[in-house]
Amino acid sequence: MTFLRVADFCHKTTAFGPQPACVLWLQGCTRTCPGCIAPMWQDPAGGQEHSVAKVHSWIEQSDMPVLVVSGGEPLDQWQGLHELMRTTSRDARSAILYTGYTYTELLQHSGFQSLIPFFDLLICGPYIEELNDSKGLRGSSNQELIFRTARFEAWREWFVSGARTLEVEIRSDFVRMTGIPPAGMHLNF
């Protein structure tokens, strides 16, 4: 049985594009970009370990038209992510991957390369705080948007320069912020 170390899962959000999405944040990041929005998700021993089958059931139960995978650094768990994406229904669901690796780095690593076909949109590259222009659905303007299919092509401008939306969910046992924050917004959770 394969496991993934999960930082969080959101069943429904509209903060990552024109369609409702579920979001899987994987725990652990070796990239450690200065100014990272989620430094608490860098520790590879943090989060909670769940079977790929359990994570798969969350995605299927969410019934959202888009799956967003982010982190931490999701490619630090590429084997488990590959198994998850292989088993996740893609008929009516689009998928977006956020990674701190550049597209060139993805192409140079056979494991990372094997994940590319599962995603319609890749948002690639390290977060550079000085290049956060508060526009679009990428953290900083250096990050590449690789539109692999036509599923998001009509919304290219939204991803490049559209207004950002943040959603905050407050419950008695946790607070979750979903979305890409504007430049200069630092969170201390």
Q: What is the CA radius of gyration of the chain?
A: 15
Give mean pLDDT, residues 46-61: 96
Lowest-pLDDT choice from 71-75, 79-83, 84-88: 84-88
Asked whether the predicted pLDDT for residue 15 surpasses 60, the reply is: yes
Cα–Cα distance, 172 to 150 (Å, whole number): 41
Residue 175's pLDDT is what?
A: 81
Asked whether the predicted pLDDT for residue 185 surpasses 80, the reply is: no
Residues 95-153 have pLDDT tens digits of 999 999 999 999 999 999 999 999 999 999 999 999 999 999 999 999 999 999 999 99
Q: What is the pTM of this model?
A: 0.93
Give mean pLDDT, residues 141-166: 92
Q: Name 181's Cβ contacts closer than 8 Å, sequence gap at least 6.
A: 37, 164, 166, 187
The two beta strands, 48-51 and 3-13, are antiparallel
Lowest-pLDDT choice from 12-16, 49-53, 127-131, 164-168: 164-168
Position with higher pLDDT, 144 vs 168: 144
Asked whether the predicted pLDDT for residue 188 surpasses 60, the reply is: no
Residue 37's pLDDT is what?
A: 82
In the numeric block, which tokens belong to residue 26?
């994987």
Q: How many CB atoms lie within 10 A of CB 91?
A: 4
Per-residue pLDDT band at 187 (split at 50, 70, 90): low
Length of the chain: 189
Residue 180's pLDDT is what?
A: 84
